[in-house]
Homo-oligomer: A and B are copies of this chain.
Amino acid sequence: MALIVQKYGGTSVGSVERIQAVAEKIKGWRARGHDLVVVVSAMSGETNRLTALAREIDPRCAGRELDVLLSTGEQVTIALLAMALGQIDCPAISFTGSQVKIQTDSTHNKARIRQVDDHRIHSELEAGKVVIVAGFQGVDDAGAITTLGRGGSDTTAVALAAALKADECQIYTDVDGVYTTDPRVVANARRLERITFEEMLEMASLGSKVLQIRSVEFAGKYDVPLRVLSSFEEGVGTLITQEEEDVEQARISGIAFNRDEAQLTVTHVPDRPGIAYKLLGPVSDANIEIDMIVQNVGADGTTDFTFTVNRNDYQNALEALQTATSEIGGEVSGRDDIVKLSLVGVGMRSHAGIASKMFRILADEGINILMISTSEIKISVVIDEKYLELGVRALHEGFNLASEEAA
């Protein structure tokens, strides 16, 4: 007997048949005596269809009316799911973000949830109903419809779970959990039983796109146990929680990687205060997000910078840097055939030697490391794109990640 919040994404509710399958799944949970609050996304393709309509009218469509438009996507799904549950004698009631009062700020298209009114949901649960809530949407103080931005349905689910003090928040996706690395690269990649919020954040932001980052942050902040599992297969998925007391071993959770990287280097920059700002200012002015940054000070009074950006921004970043160096000096070079590869795990904190083991494994394969960056629970290296699969497989093997007793 638990209170569970479940979230089904667009693919999971992408057709009438799939909605009916989700209804059966929900009924199964009900039959085991649980109270259920279900958050759903728009049917896959629907948000794109609506956006295309809006763009025909206004290519840069945004703001209040876009939210009025897009929020219809989830509204269709909640109604259909409530009907499907009704058809199999599982009483259900649907609510839009406005109805259940998912109160947000007024930042249209990427609003932030401020508060959730749990009163109505509790009374419907007490009446024995499954409560279905439209994901991705809310309402501001003036009663205007807002949306939370792409992937916002995960955030809705976590916010509801926090407000309702749910026992667990289950995110159903098209994968059956979080893996030690991408199974398409490493055949014996293993599904993790548990992972910490921090590790999940590193895994997610590094390209293992299972959950929306904001929802993981939110779950961590409010200590909502989050479970990722498959809509299409049975299984317990991966539980994302706070770090456990007994995680004393040097745990490595997994290997994340990101192909969409490009690297830029500026050498022989005069080393004086404010130089980093002068160099990188034009890049961020061009709305280019910088990922890793490394600086080395040379002996001749100059300094070298290397950093990475998304591969799509490579040309623009190159131009911005050339403008900057024409004023302050320095030489710009770069390449867009590199990738980032990261080892993630809370175990790194307390156990020395993981970095050196990582570098040795890569060296043994003849893989040259172009750049290194570390944080408390991850080590990232930039390498030649052509070595990506080799590097990931070597590390997965070297750290014995396919086994439950990974070190």
Residues of A whose CB lies within 8 Å of any CB of B are 16, 19-20, 50, 53-54, 56-58, 61, 64-66, 68-69, 71-72, 75-76, 78-80, 82-84, 86-87, 93-94, 96, 98-99, 143-145
Q: Could you list some 9 contacts between A and B, CB below 8 A? A: A54-B79, A54-B83, A57-B87, A64-B93, A65-B82, A65-B94, A69-B83, A98-B98, A99-B144
Residues of B within 8 A of A50 (CB): 76
Q: Are the C-beta atoms of B65 and A69 separated by less than 8 Å?
A: no
Chain B residue nearest to A19 (CB atoms) is: B57
Residues of B within 8 A of A16 (CB): 53, 56-57
Cα–Cα, bound, A93→B99 (Å) = 20
Chain B residue nearest to A75 (CB atoms) is: B72
> How near does chain B come to A119, taking the closest CB pair, in angstroms?
12
Q: Are the C-beta atoms of B98 and A80 separated by less than 8 Å?
A: no
> How near does chain B come to A44, taking the closest CB pair, in angstroms?
14
Q: Are the C-beta atoms of A80 and B69 separated by less than 8 Å?
A: yes
Q: Are the C-beta atoms of B69 and A75 separated by less than 8 Å?
A: yes
Q: Are the C-beta atoms of A83 and B96 separated by less than 8 Å?
A: no
Cα–Cα, bound, A66→B16 (Å) = 15
Chain B residue nearest to A120 (CB atoms) is: B143
Q: Are the C-beta atoms of A76 and B72 separated by less than 8 Å?
A: yes
Q: Are the C-beta atoms of A83 and B65 separated by less than 8 Å?
A: yes
**7 other A-B residue contacts (CB within 8 Å) besides A54-B80, A54-B83, A65-B94:** A58-B83, A65-B82, A66-B79, A68-B75, A68-B82, A69-B79, A71-B75
Cα–Cα, bound, A61→B83 (Å) = 8
- When the two chains form the complex, which single residue of B68, B79, B80, B86 contacts A79, counting CB atoms closer than 8 Å? B68
Residues of B within 8 A of A78 (CB): 68
Residues of B within 8 A of A76 (CB): 50, 53, 69, 72
Cα–Cα, bound, A143→B93 (Å) = 13
> How near does chain B come to A199, taking the closest CB pair, in angstroms?
39
